[in-house]
Each structure stands twice: as structure tokens, then as C-alpha cells.
Amino acid sequence: MSQTIRENIKQIQSEVGNTKLVVVSKYRSLPELEEVYATGHRHFGENRVQELVEKHGALPKDIHWHVIGHLQTNKVKYIVPFVHLIHSVDSFKLLKAINKEAEKVNRVIPFLFQLHIAQEESKYGLTPTELETILSSDDYHNLKHVLCRGLMGMATNTDKKDMVLQEFNGLHQLYLEHKEDQNWDTLSMGMSGDYKLAVAAGSSHIRVGSKIFG
């Protein structure tokens, strides 16, 4: 069992080279996370605040916790003291709430803007136009307790590789348009079913769960 988790991580890392792997540990038990931890891996992704807070409390403090799912403004305060990177900033309102809570604990929180790139109604994320509006506003540049590192996106859940690749390439393009002037270094795209396509399209961070835990 533990051999499998270890082997899966090793296999994925050998496939993606320098691309960083965030192990998506949502719904997984503490013993499973401890197995991942024992391999030396320190980057874990969660999408529910309560679960994240509980796991953070129970596990070693040198784990880097990534928030990858939709975040409600009233829950921000619970994660701001320790979160490593928020991948899923999908509104200006949420960003302002993060800034406000981060100020209280005297932190600067790294984050990514989540863009809506899939042909699916249900997924969260900004449109490119909404992103431009935020980036060009004075209000945005006055937020001193958040630091944007780049973009995140989820492709359509489909077997059509050309469609997925096109969505990832589009996000990469948008990322490159701002990388230099915004000082970005992180492009988070790719999950169990599509991380190879994401890496081919220029992803810097993949978020993989089921391919590791089975």
C-alpha cells in the first residue's frame, strides 16, 4: 500500500521533470497523508477549509498547504495564519477579504487568480476581461497583504486532448502576457487526467490526487 503511493509519486515526478507537484490530499485520511509525508513530499493541496484546518493541526508544521478549491470569504480567517499558496482566487471581493485577514496576522499571502477556461458552466473562475479589470485597478495595487504569483485553471473534463490542450495553451498565453510586468512565476494547471498535456502547455505546478492515492 505505502509502496504504491511512493511509486506513484515517483512515477509522476519522473514524467513531469521540473514541474512542481502538489499532492491533492482532499478526502484522504491522515495515515495516507503521513505516507506521502514519509516520501519527503511537503506540498499538499486541499479544497475544504474545515478539513484543511484539521489536517494542519494534526500533521507536521513543515508541510506547505495549498488551497485549491473555491473559498468563501467568511472562511478566509481560518487558513490565513498558515496557508502557503491560494490557487483559487476567483473574485476581487475574495481577494480583499484575504488581504484584510492577512493584515490582522501580519502576513503577505501568495495567491493565484483562477481563470475559467473550461467549456463547463459549473466551474469557478474569472474571465480574461475580469482579470484585466482587476490588474489595472488602483484598488488592486493598494492591497499590501496579498501577492499574486500567477494563474490557475482547470480544463474541460473530456477525452478530447486537442480541446484540453487548447484551453491550457490559452491560459499559458494569458500568463505570458503578464508574467514580466507582474513578476509572476506560477502557472497551476493539470490534474490526474490531464497533467501531461498541462506540462506540455507550460504548466509550472500540477495538482494531482487520484493518480497518487488510487
Ligand X SMILES: *Cc1c(COP(=O)(O)O)cnc(C)c1O
The residues that touch ligand X, with contacts defined as CB under 6 A, are 24, 26, 47, 68-69, 154, 191-193, 207-211
d(CA 136, CA 152): 19
CB of 137 to ligand X, least distance (A): 26
d(CA 47, CA 182): 26
Contact 45, 64 (CB under 8 A): no
The grid coordinates listed for 43 are 506540498
CB nearer to ligand X: pick between 170 and 193: 193
CB nearer to ligand X: pick between 24 and 76: 24
CB nearer to ligand X: pick between 143 and 168: 168
CB atoms within 10 A of CB 119: 13
Distance from the first to the final alpha carbon of the chain: 10
The CA-atom distances, in angstroms, between 36 and each of 24, 114, 143, 160, 206 are 11, 26, 35, 31, 16
The grid coordinates listed for 94 are 475574495
Query: Cβ contacts of residue 52 below 8 Å, gap of 6+?
Result: 46, 65, 67, 79
CB nearer to ligand X: pick between 99 and 188: 188
CB nearer to ligand X: pick between 68 and 143: 68
CB nearer to ligand X: pick between 22 and 143: 22
Q: Which residue is nearest to ligand X (CB)?
A: 209
Contact 200, 155 (CB under 8 A): no
Residue pointed to by grid coordinates 499559458: 172
